Structure 1
Amino acid sequence: MIRVVIAEDQQMLRGAFASLLKFESDIEVLAEVPDGRQAWEAVQRLKPDVCVLDIEMPYASGLDVAEQIREAHLPCKIMIVTTFARPGYLQKAIDAQVDGYLLKDEPIDYLIEAIRRVMKGERVISTDLAAALFMKEENPLSEREIEMLRLTKEGMTTSEISKKLFLTKGTVRNYLSSAIQKLEAESRQQAVNIAEEKGWL
């Protein structure tokens, strides 16, 4: 029996996926959870064979949970499901050593078969996602620029960032301006959105 935890923030999708899996004689759904925090708790508590994680969830992303599972050396197989064929996300998933990376619009039979395949030790990646990996853009941002955009995403002002990092406001503005330029954005918020979209944050 393959024991599965499902983490997906869209209730209808989560319920439908769980219901369909329950028809499979060799698969048991241990838990269905709506966010990354509960996913991590369920994985630690229930010790599933496979964890199916939505990439974008409240509190912690599927990739965050995947990294926690790997760092804790849990034997759980990790499958990421996503709506987006974003090369940056796929690269992060590969770095996190996930076992499956699938698009949500794959037929349900493909998803179910993918669970069985990762249990046999295979790695399964949707064809469209594999193609996206070959179109991967290089991240033009420096570590410092990424840090600035991350803090901006958290809602911090120039003054707050300068205090936190012990930099002058001018230096912070220069880093943000450089990031905005490199991403061909019109504002720091747009730069955050572009960097996030490409999986660079």
Structure 2
Amino acid sequence: MRECPNCRAEIDPSEKYCPECRVGLEKYDVREAVRSAEERQYNQGRWQRAERNPPQRESQKQDSSRREFLAGFGTTFILGSGVVGWFALPEGSDRPGKPAEDFIEALGERDFSEANELVHSEATIGGAGTAWDVLSESTGADVMYEVRKISFVDSNLIEEGEKRAVVAVTVNIDAGIDETEGDIRLVMRKDNDEWRVWNIRA
């Protein structure tokens, strides 16, 4: 019996081709054998990597993105009438969005003194302490757990008039072993030509 120089299979001496790898035996080139062996090893490695990390189909990516979007949307807790329109907030202290963001950030740090400076002098909100309670109660977090931190995430301008505006602010509420993210609405009104928090809607 002969041995195939390519795959080492035992073959009949009369055979011109190896029955296993189909390599011609009479004109077999050793360099070709080495190259074939290297290609087989490389392809085997590719197959193993593909099995460990199968490519994600486009439909799977879309489903994943859709699930993430719905999961995020499902945690929001806006109550009241539907949103009329959403607009990116321009930067600048003369816009209603800036004091709204600063108010939430101060509230998140429990700096009620700074937060109260951003509350309208005739506000119906009742002060920063009341705002903290409204945010906590809107998630039910204060019922089971203590609210540890309220963090500003993002904001959008829903409506803006000459003296009144509504800003939707996305906040993250950390209740210790659980976190909730959702949108609240800050009703802003002019106070001495400066935007201040008039009311909060959860």
Query: Is TM-score (shorter-chain normalized) higher than 0.5?
Result: no
Normalised to the residue count of structure 1, the TM-score between the two structures is 0.28
Larger of the two Rg values belongs to structure: 2
- Larger helix fraction of residues: 1
RCO comparison, higher one (Cα < 8 Å, 6+): 2
Normalised to the residue count of structure 2, the TM-score between the two structures is 0.28
- Larger strand fraction of residues: 2
